[in-house]
Structure 1
Amino acid sequence: MSFGESARVEAHVAAPPERVWAALTDADSLAAWYWPAAGSPAATSDPVVGGRFGVRGDGMGFAGEYAELERPRRIVQSWRWDGDDRDSRVTIELTPAGDGTDLVVVHDRIDAATAEDYRAGWESCLARLPGFLASDSPPGNR
């Protein structure tokens, strides 16, 4: 099985990069918007190089480690679903654009079938981000 595939998703959100960064790295924010279908997910995040993050809910979850952090522009992290036997990698680029931020998410070191699943998952996840950022309780700037 080849693990040289990747999933790439692009999105634009009407919020400045610092707010988007906080939504991507703050545990309470991740629990609120990332995976609400999991009921009441629990999230952890220690946004320092070598720090861990994860989201768990409905008996499943994922976790990883921050490999690179260039606030508020770039996040590189390992990624592993519960039960997987190897890590993949996620790179998130944030670029100021007009009224907000352009995001590019590349999830790589995966096989072709997994790439399709992750692409759909990231699209679904990022579709929830603008609503969260527009809510009355935006993420903190940790």
Structure 2
Amino acid sequence: MATTPFTIEKTYKAPVKKVWEAITDKDKMKVWYFDLAEFKAEVGFEFSFTGGPPDGKQYLHICEVTEVIKEKKLTHSWRYDGEPGISYVTWELFDQGNSTLVRLTHANLESFNSGNPDLAPENFAAGWTSIVGKNLKEFVEGK
């Protein structure tokens, strides 16, 4: 049974180019997102990182870039080593002059229906709300 993807939209007082660099440059990403050993905004590029609840199990995230439209759209798969399911994260950027509207969509979360409470949809909502609503905003707006 398909569920509605999680979507969050935020507008930042920063140009598209700056936001694009924040979501595609591994050195910038480690400041506000996850510390990736390597990242390239190229279809087929595979990357991984470890993350999880601050006081809980850490999971190896395994991802592959599936779509890139420079300064407009970036999509990658998102799955966990040793866990069933695969989901897709899409970042869309909309130029609004001196600001950028960012729409993040995390789809196919229901595929993680393994009974693992760490992978419950509400945890993704909380995580993305913090990452997109606070961390990325502060990074691109320089706060």
Both structures adopt the same fold (TM-score exceeding 0.5): yes
Whether contact under 8 Å (2:41, 2:74) holds in the other structure is no
Taking the aligned partners of 2:45 and 2:36, their CA distance within structure 1 comes to 17
Indicate if the aligned counterparts of 2:42 and 2:68 stay in contact, CA closer than 8 A: yes
Q: In the alignment, which of 111, 133, 139 is matched to residue 140 of structure 2? A: 133
Gaps of 5+ in 2: 53-57, 114-118
RCO higher in 1 or 2 (8 Å CA, sep ≥ 6)? 1
RMSD across aligned positions (CA): 2.4
Cα deviation, residue 3, structure 1: 4.6
Deviations 1:88-135 (A, max 9, x none): 011111001243110111101112873322121111001111221234
Match of 1:55 among 49, 57, 72: 49
Aligned positions, number: 130
Give the letter aligned to residue 102 of structure 1. L
Contact kept? 1:30, 1:55, Cα under 8 Å: no
Whole-Å separation in 2 of the counterparts to 1:60 and 1:91:
21
Who is 1:80 aligned against? 79
Query: How far apart, CA to CA, are the structure 1 residues paired with 2:2 and 2:83?
Result: 13
- 8 A contact 1:42–1:57 mirrored in 2: no
- Which region of structure 1 is more displaced relative to structure 2, 75-84 or 101-110? 75-84
| Displaced runs of 4 or more, over 3 A | 2-5, 57-61
Q: Which moved more, 1:112-121 or 1:41-50?
A: 112-121
Distance in 2 separating the partners of 1:82 and 1:33: 23
Distance 1:43 1:33, change over 3 A: farther
Q: Quote the sequence identity (%).
A: 29
In structure 2, do the counterparts of structure 1 residues 57 and 120 end up closer, same or farther at CA, with 3 Å as the change threshold? closer
Q: Do structure 1's residue 33 and structure 2's residue 32 form an aligned pair?
A: yes
Deviation at 1:56, TM superposition (A): 2.5
